[in-house]
Amino acid sequence: MKYYKILVIAGLLSFICNGLSAQGRSIDKAYKTFESGEYYKAIDYFKESYDRVTDKNEKNRIVFHIGECYRKTNQPDKAALWYSKAIKKNYNDPVIFFHYANMLKMIGEYEEAKLQFKAYKELMPEDKRADDGIASCDEAVEWMKFPSGYTVEEHKFINSKPDDYSPAFAREDYRVLYFTSTREETTGKDETGVSGQGFSDIFETTLDRKGKWSTPIPLSDAINTEYDEGTPALNRDFTRLYYTQCQVRDKKSTGCAILVSELKNNEWQKAKSLDIADDSIVVAHPAISADELTLYFVSDMAGSMTGTDGKASKDIWMATRKSINDDFGDPVNLGEPVNTLGDEVFPYVHPDGSFYFSSNGHRGMGGYDIFKAIPDDAGNWQIENMRYPINSSADDFGICFEAEREAGFFSSSRKGKGDDIYMFLLPPLKFSITGIIKNEKTNQPLPGASVKSIGSDGLTLETTSGNDGSFKFVLKPSTDYIFLAKKDGFLQGKERETTKAKEKSTDFTTEIYLSPIDKPITVENIFFDFASAELRPESMVALDKLVETLNDNPTITIELSSHTDFRGNDDFNMDLSQQRAQAVVNYLIMKEISANRLVAKGYGESQPKQVDLRDHEAYPFLPEGQVLTEQYINTISDTDLQEVAHFLNRRTEFKVLSTNYSGN
């Protein structure tokens, strides 16, 4: 019996030791595959190891790494699921909240993402990425609510189930497009352990006269090989092709290089490496300046910025040369503010010289966003997010533009089924203004008024208001406008509008009021201290408008009158009103209005106000046409309403005395 138990125990120990050894080998293989960057392959290894591991902490660590694998293979929905599992199991690394938040952003769950960024901030209050993450969620919601003027449409003619990305125009008429694809027609037939997809090649498609793109075909074997080729960039005259090639031997990457090929007799020649760096170093995503003397590219070589995980981030670098026949010099990191602790990839030089790139380090909508960089007068980069709908909650990258208009192509994973190519266009901005000319006293439309549109571009147009008093002008972008209206028997009126800084097409509306010259015109908002003829500062705005009216109507002379309510001594009120009228005239003279055009007259309480339509609309208890005499006001029982009537009587007015002043 004792012997039997010893055998059983020995057998159990052997089984346990062998099991632990198998566990160790399995989990080691998973972590080694992960560290080598083969995240797609590592997923299965981690899942296999999970069932064999008994230690709870190790199980939780595996769950976290499965989430990491899905994140690094651009599967945010699955990554978010596994991160949430690890959080529920109390995974103890704060970074999980940051990664979880970013995955939620990528699937458009902005409110939940904000909560996870806040959870990360509580644990890591000094990491500004938490605040950026919270702010970016709010910005994304705002951008989607108020999108930019771009229209975006999937390029269904050329997209396939595998990845299609990084488009580039290959002919000056923009009817030939190169792009990168992992579709079945590629030359290399192996799969990469990084993404689980086949190797990529560069494909070509052509737009026919009917507006249909041809079935994509791969470029010749001078460009495409059994390795990874992609991210094409062409020079200004489309005679040189720069692209990335990543070689793999024995299923292990040996680095990526930038190659260049020349077009001769309408065929691409055998490409050669630019030898930017050692063969074992990754240099990719080329972009070439118009003069071909500056090459931009992406690398995590020594000198790249260090991310928060302690590893080198992917940065944008540049190399220069003195002539096209020279080799490029030593690479220089583009530095901040273009590069961040995150990754910056897919640079692009616009034909107008502006610079574009994608980043997950700058504040964005989720994943990689496309950014525009413009150097200011001091040579410093100003970074601008392209916003929605160019950007989305997913990865957006690899943009290219036509030279003459804001149109082109870019790549996006926004449909959640890999990378696809999208067309974009910024339609020309269209502006117009529709207005109505109205009688300032009656608020009724004025037909037959002459209306001028005067633009800051020097263009003046003229029209006549219709039977309903309406007029309309088509406006130009980035232009200031003044609209002048006049009609016999009325003072000239005007309004202003601008299309400057307007990012969307807009139909403006306006109303221009013309004051009849046969009736007194109240100058609103003229204020004096009690029993004083000294103008209060807040009166200056209204008086400056009166100055503008007199300048717009240079042939009129006016009587400037001041009126009081009936309270107080008659002689005092008459004297006070005369002083107040003169104070206004003095202000106008100070503003260079000729004294010969101005007469000051105080009327005291002798000319009570007659209620007009606008007064009635503002104070409905006062009947239109009613004269606000002392007798009438005393019939109003409510003291507050009485005070309104007194307020209307205390007024400053002007009336036109003549319309033929010549300045003599």
What pLDDT, in 10s, does the model give residues 450-466? 999 999 999 999 999 99
pLDDT above 80 for 18: no
Q: In whole angstroms, how large is the CA radius of gyration of the chain? A: 38
Angle, helix 2-35 to helix 56-72, in steps of 10 degrees: 30
What is residue 193's predicted lDDT score, i.e. its pLDDT? 55
- Alpha helix ranges (H) inside 36-94: 39-52, 56-72, 76-88
**Sequence-distant (≥ 6) Cβ neighbours of residue 257 within 8 angstroms:** 244, 245, 246, 247, 273, 274, 275, 276, 277, 279, 283
- Any idea which fold 521-658 has? 60s Ribosomal Protein L30; Chain: A; (3.30.1330)
Report phi then psi at 393, rounded to 5: -70, -15
d(CA 364, CA 387): 8
Give the homologous superfamily in CATH for domain 431-514: Carboxypeptidase-like, regulatory domain (2.60.40.1120)
Indicate whether 278 pLDDT > 90: no
Q: Is the pLDDT of residue 131 over 80?
A: yes
Q: Running DSSP on this structure, what letter comes out for residue 553?
A: S
Q: Do 117 and 98 contact (CB within 8 A), yes or no?
A: yes
Distance CA 89, CA 84 (A): 9
CATH 2.60.40.1120 domain position(s) in the chain: 431-514
How confident is the model over 542-578, as pLDDT tens digits? 899 999 999 999 999 999 999 999 988 999 999 999 9
Q: 31 by DSSP, 3-state: which?
A: helix
Average per-residue pLDDT for the chain: 90
pLDDT surpassing 90 at residue 582: yes
392 strand-pairing partners: none
CATH 1.25.40.10 domain locations along the chain: 20-145
Residue 230 scores a pLDDT above 70? yes
pLDDT at residue 85 in the model: 95
Q: What is the pLDDT of residue 191?
A: 64
d(CA 653, CA 258): 78
Among 111-120, 250-259, 267-276, the minimum mean pLDDT is found in 250-259
3-state secondary structure 109-134: CHHHHHHHHHHHHHHCCCCCHHHHHH
Burial of 623 (0-12, 13-18, 19+ CB in 10 A): exposed
Does residue 611 contact residue 574 with C-beta atoms inside 8 Å?
A: no
Cα–Cα distance measured from residue 548 to residue 237, given in angstroms and rounded to the nearest whole number: 56
- Of 230 and 280, the one with more pLDDT: 230
* pLDDT of the residue at 197: 67
**pLDDT > 90: what percent of the chain?**
75
**The pLDDT value given to residue 375:** 85
CATH code for the domain defined by 151-425: 2.120.10.30
- pLDDT band at residue 350 using 50, 70 and 90 as cut-offs: very high
What is the share, in percent, of the chain residues with pLDDT greater than 70?
A: 93
pLDDT higher than 70, residue 105: yes
Q: Determine contact, residues 75/195, Cβ cutoff 8 Å.
A: no
Nearest of 582, 519, 560, 584 to residue 654 by alpha carbon:
560
What pLDDT score was predicted for residue 312? 85
Bridge-based pairing of strands 557-563 and 598-604 is parallel
pLDDT digits (tens, 9 = 90+) for 515-531: 999 888 888 888 887 78
The whole-number pLDDT of residue 536 equals 86
Outline which parts of the chain fall under CATH 3.30.1330.60.
521-658
Q: Which whole number is the average pLDDT over 324-338?
A: 94
DSSP code string of 424-453: EE-PPP-EEEEEEEEETTT--B-TT-EEEE
pLDDT at 268: 97
Helix axis angle for 56-72 and 39-52, nearest 10°, is 160
Place of tokens 């299965």: 44
Lowest mean pLDDT among 1-15, 129-143, 197-211: 1-15
pLDDT digits (tens, 9 = 90+) for 466-484: 999 999 999 999 999 999 9
57 three-class SS: helix
Pick the CATH number of 20-145 from 3.60.130.10, 1.25.40.10, 1.10.3720.10, 3.90.1150.10: 1.25.40.10
Band of residue 12 on the pLDDT scale cut at 50, 70, 90: very low
Q: What is the pLDDT of residue 22?
A: 47
Dihedral over alpha carbons 616, 618, 619, 620 (to 10 degrees): 60
Q: What average pLDDT score do residues 215-232 get?
A: 95
Region of poorest pLDDT, from 38-52, 249-263, 491-505, 604-618: 249-263
pLDDT digits (tens, 9 = 90+) for 374-409: 888 888 889 999 999 999 999 999 999 999 999 999
